[in-house]
Amino acid sequence: MKKKHLAYAFFGVCVCLSATAQNSGVAIVEVTTDPDLGGDTVTFIGTPNGVLELRLGQPDKLSAAGLASGTYTSTITAVGPVIAGQPYALQRISCDDTDSAAPSTGNVGTNTATFNIEAGEKVTCRFQLKAVEPEEPEPPGLSCICPRAGSWTASNFPGTMVCTGTTGFTLPLAASTQTGTLGVSNGCQSLQITNFDDDYADVPMQRVPGECGYVGVAEGVPMENRFNLDVQNEEFLIGSLRMEIVQQGTTCIMTRDFEVRFND
């Protein structure tokens, strides 16, 4: 009988050791802030879960140990007032699990890390938060007209080119017309002028903060073209061009005004 009891006891020890080995995975969430931030909190649900207190100059982590093999998720559900007020935005979630068959991953859109834990595996997923620079608000009552995308014709008024330096002269510029394409993007914050002249580069233009006009620069060697556009209505723009050319000790500056009309 004693041998039988010993056999049962030995068998029980083996079962316990096997279960302990299987439930040995560790999942860790780590939060970094740029710039570094202390005295605020980030709340997670899932595995791991809890309220993570941020400290300056120290790693900020939550962990869950004793995990069986399987899939676990941990999601940011709330942030403290400092993070929300800056605000900080979640830029990236990176996990140190390199298992090609079932790696652990992050989804910035859902604020979630997905852990694929194997027996004895320890995986860390890092949530990277970065401060967002506040956008300059438009003045109250400012309502800008957006030009139409498509084919436009530019009418260039007579201009002048004044050269100084090694060679000095003033050259009149005749009026001309050109046809090209105007692209509109980024909620009408950006324009792209293309194919108006083979001699000039395409011109990306950005709306001037607090105004309805646009400014753009096309640089080349050895010249710089600066364009300004004001929107009169969605099919009519007025603008100005300043071109500066520096070559062999001579600087030439060309200026002219122009109008651009949408082609029906």
Are residues 227 and 241 in contact, defined by beta-carbon separation less than 8 angstroms? Answer: yes
**CATH code, domain carrying 105:** 2.60.40
Whether 154 and 126 map to the same domain: the answer is no
Model confidence pLDDT, tens digit, residues 112-153: 999 999 988 999 999 999 998 765 555 555 688 999 999 999
> pLDDT in tens for each of the 264 residues of the chain?
434 443 333 334 444 444 455 788 999 999 999 999 889 999 999 999 999 999 998 889 999 999 999 999 999 999 999 999 888 999 999 999 877 678 999 999 999 999 999 988 999 999 999 998 765 555 555 688 999 999 999 999 999 999 998 888 999 999 999 888 999 998 899 998 887 765 556 788 999 888 889 998 876 656 778 889 999 999 999 999 898 888 888 999 999 999 999 997
- The answer on 175 and 118 residing in a single domain is no
Q: Identify the domain boundary among 82, 103, 131.
A: 131
Could you tell me the CATH number of the domain that includes residue 156? 2.40.160.20
End-to-end CA separation in angstroms for the chain? 103
User: What pLDDT is recorded for position 139?
Assistant: 54
Sign of the CA dihedral with 60 first, then 66, 69, and 75 last: negative
Contacts of 83 (CB under 8 A, 6+ apart): 33, 37, 40, 42, 129
Q: What pLDDT is attached to residue 92?
A: 92
Q: Where in the sequence is the domain holding 55, given as residue range(s)?
A: 23-131
pLDDT of residue 198: 58
Long-range contacts of 90-96 (CB under 8 A, 24+ apart): 90/127, 90/128, 90/129, 91/128, 91/129, 91/130, 92/126, 92/127, 92/128, 93/125, 93/126, 93/127, 93/128, 94/125, 94/126, 94/128, 95/123, 95/124, 95/125, 95/126, 96/123, 96/124, 96/125
- The encoded tokens of residue 69 equal 């093999």
103 is a domain residue: yes
Residue 146 has a CB neighbour count (10 Å cut-off) of 14
212 backbone φψ class: left, alpha, beta (φ>0; ψ -120 to 50) = alpha
Q: What pTM did the predictor assign? A: 0.47
Say what the pLDDT of residue 31 is: 95
Confirm whether 139 is domain-assigned.
no
User: Which among 78, 102, 131 is the end of a domain?
Assistant: 131
pLDDT at 201: 62
The reported pLDDT for the residue numbered 162 is 93
Q: Do 119 and 160 belong to one domain?
A: no
| Residue 174 tokens, joined | 């005749």
For residue 135, what pLDDT is reported? 58
Element (H, E) at 185: strand 176-185
Q: Give residue for tokens 């560790």.
A: 26
pLDDT at 259: 94
- Burial (Cβ within 10 Å: 0-12, 13-18, ≥19) of residue 20: exposed
pLDDT at 144: 87
Residue with tokens 């900020």: 60
What six digits make up the tokens of 216?
């753009």
Co-location of 120 and 173 in the same domain:
no
Q: Are residues 30 and 121 in the same domain?
A: yes
Three-state secondary-structure class, residue 191 = strand
- Count of structural domains, the chain: 2
Contact 92, 128 (CB under 8 A): yes
